[in-house]
Amino acid sequence: DQQVKQNSPSLSVQEGRISILNCDYTNSMFDYFLWYKKYPAEGPTFLISISSIKDKNEDGRFTVFLNKSAKHLSLHIVPSQPGDSAVYFCAASPSGGGADGLTFGKGTHLIIQP
């Protein structure tokens, strides 16, 4: 049973526009959510996170929104830049941001078109 779902394997967005990546989860015990970004031939790198006590967290061009009732979170990138082309993994944890029990989605490949 997949507890963290990223239903879009890939997403193509024009440079300068908004990219919206979606993630759904099923386990109500998850209370901390993270997004990781991965370039080819590199390991994933932490991008942004959000605690379940918040519904929004912003860091520069990146904003994560959390809808607990819908068990849904999204990552917004505005404006999208060519360097944003990468695979994005959504992850969820029941332990307040810790790596213990961290569950990843399958990833969404974001392609920024010039």
Partner 1 sequence: EAQVTQNPRYLITVTGKKLTVTCSQNMNHEYMSWYRQDPGLGLRQIYYSMNVEVTDKGDVPEGYKVSRKEKRNFPLILESPSPNQTSLYFCASSRYNSPLHFGNGTRLTVT
Say whether residue 41 binds partner 1 (CB under 8 A).
yes
Q: Which is nearer to partner 1, 100 or 114 (CB)?
A: 100
Residue 85 or 108 having the CB closest to partner 1: 108
Q: Which amino acid is at 58?
A: E
Q: Is residue 25 near partner 1 by the rule CB under 8 A?
A: no
Neighbours of 114 (CB within 10 A): 6
80 CB-contact burial (10 Å; exposed 0-12 / middle 13-18 / buried 19+): buried
23 binds partner 1 (CB under 8 A): no
Shortest distance in whole angstroms from residue 3 CB to partner 1: 10
Contact between 72 and partner 1 per CB under 8 A: no
Among positions 23, 34, 77, 110, the unique one binding partner 1 when judged by CB under 8 A: 34
110 torsion bin: left (phi>0), alpha (psi -120 to 50), beta (else): beta
Contacts of 67 (CB under 8 A, 6+ apart): 55, 73
Interface residue list for partner 1 (CB under 8 A) = 6, 9, 34, 36, 41-46, 49, 89, 95-100, 102, 104-107
